Amino acid sequence: MDQPSEQDYHAARAFASSLTFRGTPLTEFPDSAHNIIEACAKEFAHHRRTAFKHGLRVGVRRFAWWKDGVQYVGTTGKQLPQALSEIDAEAID
């Protein structure tokens, strides 16, 4: 699973600070708040990386070019399906 960054933890803490249980801020329950912050940070990290890969795929598709019925990307002769599979296999930090 994706490792959360400091940015993910910051967003998770901001989200958790807005939660209440029967009118009491969740931050008053340290164990529960910690668990929620951890879960949210991991979820945020996953979605951020998924969105980044999606953006790469869109960009590669938009700038692909055609020659003799085959779509290529860049200037090295790499075909679009190969480039997209490399993006999918790449680990994003």
Domain ranges of the chain: 6-89
- How confident is residue 93, by pLDDT bands cut at 50, 70 and 90? low
47-87 pLDDT, tens digit per residue, is 888 898 999 999 999 999 999 999 999 888 999 999 999 99
pTM above 0.75, yes or no: no
- pLDDT bracket for residue 90 (50, 70, 90): confident
Please state the separation of Cα 62 from the chain's center in Å. Answer: 21
pLDDT of the residue at 4? 86
